[in-house]
Structure 1
Amino acid sequence: MGQAQLAEAIRNKRAEMIQIGMSKGLDSEETIYCSQELDDLLNEYNRLLSQPKRFNPINDYIDYLLFLHKSTYKIVRLGYDAWGRF
């Protein structure tokens, strides 16, 4: 489940818990069970946020190529004596 879907599920479960709590009481078995389900969703969301971002070598390669392109353009445009001023 993605971050957006998980956030939506949390909003829905929170609204459901509030509704059950207001109609059946905060100490009802249904409210407690719904609260535990909400806790599970929140824990999953926090795990998702705490995961390190995945390394994407293609984006790094593209960034490197853009850097080389810009550097080469500066050298050609300014002349070879500009190489030392980078």
Structure 2
Amino acid sequence: MRLDQCEVAIKEKKNEMIQLGMTKGLQNEETISCSQELDKLLNDYNRLLSDSKHSKPIDHNDDYFFMLSKLAYKLLSIPYKYFFTY
């Protein structure tokens, strides 16, 4: 199963479980069974995300660039008069 298919299946199962819970109650066997099926789908989805084909490698340069851009913004937002104190 692909990520997008898994996302659709999760959304459908979640809606089904909510409907069952509201009509038959949370302790009903059908609701519990549906919840367990949703758990399996969520586990499959997490497995797909952790798969190297689907996960984006962590790029620490992105974090560094973001931190530098925030610092530059802070420096540029300091009023000009604070640079020259007599």
Q: CA RMSD in A?
A: 1.2
For structure 1, which runs of at least 5 residues remain unmatched after alignment?
Answer: 55-86
For residue 22 of structure 2, what is the aligned residue in structure 1?
22
For residue 40 of structure 2, what is the aligned residue in structure 1?
40
For residue 4 of structure 1, what is the aligned residue in structure 2?
4
For residue 49 of structure 2, what is the aligned residue in structure 1?
49
* TM-score normalized by the length of structure 2: 0.61
Q: How many residues align?
A: 54
For structure 2, which runs of at least 5 residues remain unmatched after alignment?
Answer: 55-86
CA distance in 2, matches of 1:52, 1:4: 16
**Amino acid aligned to 1:38:** L
Greater RCO, CA 8 A, separation 6+? 2
For residue 61 of structure 1, what is the aligned residue in structure 2?
none
* TM-score normalized by the length of structure 1: 0.61
Q: Which has the higher helix share?
A: 1
Q: Which runs of 4+ in 1 moved over 6 A?
A: none
